[in-house]
Amino acid sequence: MNTRIVAMGFIVGLASAGVAHSCTAFLVTDGDVVLAGNNEDSVNPQTKVWFVPADDGQFGRVYFGFDLNQEGGMNERGLFFDGFATAPRKVVRSTDKPVFTGLLIDKVMAECATVEEVLAVFEKYNLEFLERGMLIFGDATGDSAIIEGDDVVRKQGRFQVSTNFYQSQTPAGQEPCERYRIAVKMLEEADEVSVPLCRRILSAVHFEHGSHTLYSNIYDLLRRRVYLYHFHNFENVVVFDLVEELKKGKRVLEQVMWDMADRPACFFGHDK
């Protein structure tokens, strides 16, 4: 994987998408089950999946996104992330730190198993690449955190929700995003943590106009399983085991989500 190219793709993707690139992600746990969900909302139909097997001490991982933009994924230790475009906000406190050469996100997904480890790595580097974006990370212990450039918002309680506004700058009860409010309400009222719960939440906050929900993921962080939905169709699902898929080697699958309505029982795509 050319980390320089992918790094530029991720940064350009966030910067060019603007606030209209509206995504939703969350992590929820009951102690026995740890699930993360995300809707990827975009106008770019060129969807891709990248499989990167373990190599030279690095964890195997899968990424989902568009063209060169890897927007989210999970590694074989149950660490997941998702990225969000945001309104511009200057990064100040880390500007005197070294700039990481390559893709910092790929580094932590290759080397980290927990949110604490991710935060320790990010603390070492210049984070100016997050002046128009932010990241959520979650792990198999049920921990999660949102990195908003200079600020980190840690999970409190059973769940954490992230959309496209800065929670560190927003007083409680004044959250401006309807998707955020809907997801929080549904999680607060839920009496169980399950894939059907996550699917209902993703369905409730999906977009059908402008920036469509092109695909959705539910990650089972303990079982290393991914549920993949195409174009806000939550009736058909592709389910795959990350460990088994990584055994097939390094692959990039192009437009893998577009054929899902015809083949809902297995994982498939066009190898590139």
Contact 22, 179 (CB under 8 A): yes
The two structure tokens encoding residue 19: 């606030």
- How does pLDDT run along the chain (272 residues), one tens digit per residue? 333 333 334 443 443 333 345 689 999 999 999 999 998 866 666 778 999 999 999 999 999 987 767 889 999 999 999 999 999 999 999 999 999 999 999 999 999 999 999 999 999 999 999 999 999 999 999 999 999 999 999 999 999 999 989 999 999 889 889 999 999 999 999 999 999 999 999 999 866 565 677 789 999 999 999 999 876 677 788 899 999 999 999 999 876 544 444 443 333 333 33
Contact 144, 136 (CB under 8 A): yes
The total of other beta-carbon atoms located within 10 Å of residue 124's CB is: 11
Fold that domain 3-271 belongs to in CATH: Penicillin V Acylase; Chain A (3.60.60)
> pTM for the full model?
0.87
Q: Where are the domains of the chain?
A: 3-271
Strand partners of residue 61: 52, 75
* Residue that the structure tokens 């070492």 belong to: 124
